[in-house]
Structure 1
């Protein structure tokens, strides 16, 4: 009898019940509130167009944008694939170059002092100011766009990874030295794992910037044709007053940015959830 009483669950007090109820409401509200607000915004958009009798070439109704998305889906989604290809390749090059250079910076202060200012110059100089030079020296249109996407996405990965590699606990580094670890063993087994949260944080920033770089570069380049990206569709639709298609292309760019951010956030969580404090808090 006593053992049964000992194994019986302890009833939750009122405060614990309140916290559980608040946590449940927050989990539901995290999805319901944005969807509800978006629905209200779309409804108001539609009503403003109808009430003010705004011409469709000035501001189309949401149903017109949806219809353009359906009617022009072949053209828009082929352009989306072009933009995604430039974004993905730019991000991949930024990861390879940023991480590789950050490792060199971590291994040699002289290398960091020599080359880090050039990375800062690339970051603070607007891409629209650099593009005329790229346009002169690079002939291939895809290479131009790819270079712009890489330049924009490169610095967050380099900066964050360098910060992570240099933020290792000095006591742990001394422990590795006492045990005779080489510089590369210390890098592989200590500094790279410690820098992983910083790198993943920079990766989430760089993913959105790579998309922005690809779109802005295409705006500046003014490229057109069947193999052009979404930015070219926006330019073309603006010239032809096909405003519904223009809005459809804008929506695809926004949704692409959201998907990229959510995917990289999920990857970050999956890689950190078993050992890093930031991911462990989300698991609770």
Structure 2
């Protein structure tokens, strides 16, 4: 048991140290490239000007970061509720799936930039419009993966539930939903990243500005002012938010699956 715990601690340490070392090496290469090329800060800033901008402009960037993070998380939560609920509705009948699933496909394949002007017109506020745009983009991956999971249950188990006289609701709760968890977790990881992308793209399309704007507006503002260090700082914050979302969804996936699903068991071994 002690050897197993030591091995797990060593694996965890490697998972932290290896990416950290790679990132540190890339930063050093970035800094050396800027110094050797002699590029001006308004063309390609080095790590130090970006870090300085991040510190000096924290009062501007942090509120924008919170706005983007709130839109991303709320839209992802709505996509989870809507995607799972709609997936359960679709698998109840072949006719229901044939009738309603194409509508979800149409919403997915239509570029969000193309329909965002309509959403901005009909939504009561700009924030609601941003939420709708981010929701539409992150909704379909969760829906499609959940539908696939609910339809991939072993038919022998379905026959066994029917043999024991289980109701459709009991079959759904005790068999179909647990069996669909790996598919759902995959959709959750994809939807988390897409929710952030959609939130930024929606704000670009909305052209929102002012104190309540997110990081997308700060990116455009820094570009127009040729404040490239601030632009890089805003991009860094977006990257951190994306990595945090992916880490959170990956941890949730591990938490749910690591005791029984092969994918997580193999990662542990």
TM-score scaled to structure 1, two decimals? 0.88
Partner of 2:132 in structure 1?
147
Listed one character per residue, the Cα deviations across residues 134-187 of structure 1 (whole Å, up to 9, x for unaligned) are 122224100111001101100011000000000111111111111111111110
Partner of 1:209 in structure 2?
194
- Per-residue deviation, 1:32: 3.4
RMSD (Å), alpha carbons: 1.9
1:75 to 60, 79, 83: 60
Partner of 1:101 in structure 2?
86
Larger Rg: 1
Listed one character per residue, the Cα deviations across residues 39-93 of structure 1 (whole Å, up to 9, x for unaligned) are 2221222222222221111111210100111111121111111001100110011
The correspondence of residues 27-176 of structure 1 with structure 2, limited to 5 A, is 30-176=15-161
Partner of 1:178 in structure 2?
163
Partner of 2:245 in structure 1?
260
Aligned length: 264
Q: Return 5+ residue gaps in structure 2 as ranges.
A: 1-6
**Counterparts of 2:203 and 2:31, CA distance in 1:** 31
2:183 is aligned with 1:198: yes
**Counterparts of 1:34 and 1:188, CA distance in 2:** 39
Listed one character per residue, the Cα deviations across residues 6-37 of structure 1 (whole Å, up to 9, x for unaligned) are xxxxxxxxxxxxxxx9x999766544343223
**Counterparts of 1:206 and 1:27, CA distance in 2:** 26
**Counterparts of 2:11 and 2:123, CA distance in 1:** 51
**Counterparts of 1:102 and 1:33, CA distance in 2:** 39
TM-score scaled to structure 2, two decimals? 0.93
**Counterparts of 2:160 and 2:89, CA distance in 1:** 22
Partner of 2:228 in structure 1?
243
| SS state at 2:166 partner | coil
Partner of 1:233 in structure 2?
218
| SS state at 1:57 partner | coil
| SS state at 1:227 partner | coil
Partner of 1:281 in structure 2?
266
Range with greater deviation from structure 2 (221-230 or 49-58)? 49-58
**Counterparts of 1:33 and 1:268, CA distance in 2:** 22
| SS state at 1:107 partner | coil
